[in-house]
Amino acid sequence: MVTQRIYDALYPKGHTYQKITSSGRLDQLALQGGPGLSQYGNWKLQEKVSDGPVSTQTVTVRKITALLQLPAGNLYQNNGNIAYQIRVATFPADWNPGDIGWKLRLRDGDNQQLIANYEGIFLEDPSQPVRTFVQPWDGLVEETGEKPPAGTMVVPSGTCSNTTLEVFHTCS
C-alpha cells in the first residue's frame, strides 16, 4: 500500500491525500497534491517504504499561466475587427520555458459551430516572463467568409502549450 500524505501551509502536520493498494512493485506513482502544490517553488518529497529509511529529494515546481482577455461584451455587433488578447506568464520570473504555442477558437454560442480558428507561437524571449499577443478577428465566419448575424454570441476558448515540455494550459 502506498499512502500519499500532503504537508503544506494548509496542513503543516500533514494529511492523507490518497492510499493506493497494489501487488508487486510500483514502477511509477503520479505526484498529486492539495491546494499548495499548485504553488511554484522548491518542494521536498520524502519516500518511506515500510519500516525502511526515509529518502528525500527536492523538485522544482514551475508554473505557466494564461489569460484570454475578451473585448467588451461577446455579442457580435457587425463592426469589423475585434481584438482578442492572449497573455502568458511564467513563474518564477527567471524561468523561461522556451517557445509557447497558443490556439484560439471562436464558436457560435448557440450551436457551438466554429466561427474562426487561430494558432501561433510566443517565441522564446528570456527577458520577458510575461508575453502578450493580440489576435484580431475580422468578423467573418472562416468557413463561409460571411459575417455572422448581428447579436451572435461569440464564445472564445484558448489553449497554450509549452512546445518543449508538452505542458498544456487552458486560457481563462
Task: Look up the pTM and report it.
Answer: 0.64
For cell 488578447, name the residue.
Answer: 85
Q: How many domains does the chain have?
A: 2
Note the pLDDT of residue 31: 60
Are 45 and 18 in the same domain? Answer: yes
Are 143 and 167 in the same domain? Answer: yes
Are 84 and 98 in the same domain? Answer: yes
Are 80 and 126 in the same domain? Answer: yes
Q: Give every CB contact of residue 146 below 8 A, 6+ residues apart in sequence.
A: 140
CB 61 within 8 A of CB 41: yes
Are 45 and 122 in the same domain? Answer: no
Are 73 and 157 in the same domain? Answer: yes
Are 164 and 85 in the same domain? Answer: yes
Structure-block grid coordinates of residue 164: 518543449
Are 133 and 81 in the same domain? Answer: yes
- Chunked into runs of 10 residues, the chain (172 residues) has average pLDDT values of 71 75 66 59 75 81 80 62 84 79 90 92 77 87 88 86 57 46
C-alpha count within 13 angstroms, C-beta hemisphere, residue 42: 4
Is beta strand 82-91 parallel, antiparallel or unpaired with respect to 100-108? unpaired
Quick one: the chain helix, strand, coil %, rounded to 5? 0, 50, 50
Are 135 and 77 in the same domain? Answer: yes
Are 136 and 71 in the same domain? Answer: yes
What is d(CA 10, CA 3) in angstroms, rounded to the nearest whole number?
19
Are 163 and 78 in the same domain? Answer: yes
| Domain coverage including residue 30 | 2-61
Are 57 and 90 in the same domain? Answer: no
Question: Residue 117: which CATH number?
Answer: 2.60.40.4070
Which one, of 91, 113, 116, lies nearest residue 103 by Cα?
Answer: 116
What is d(CA 33, CA 39) in angstroms, rounded to the nearest whole number?
11
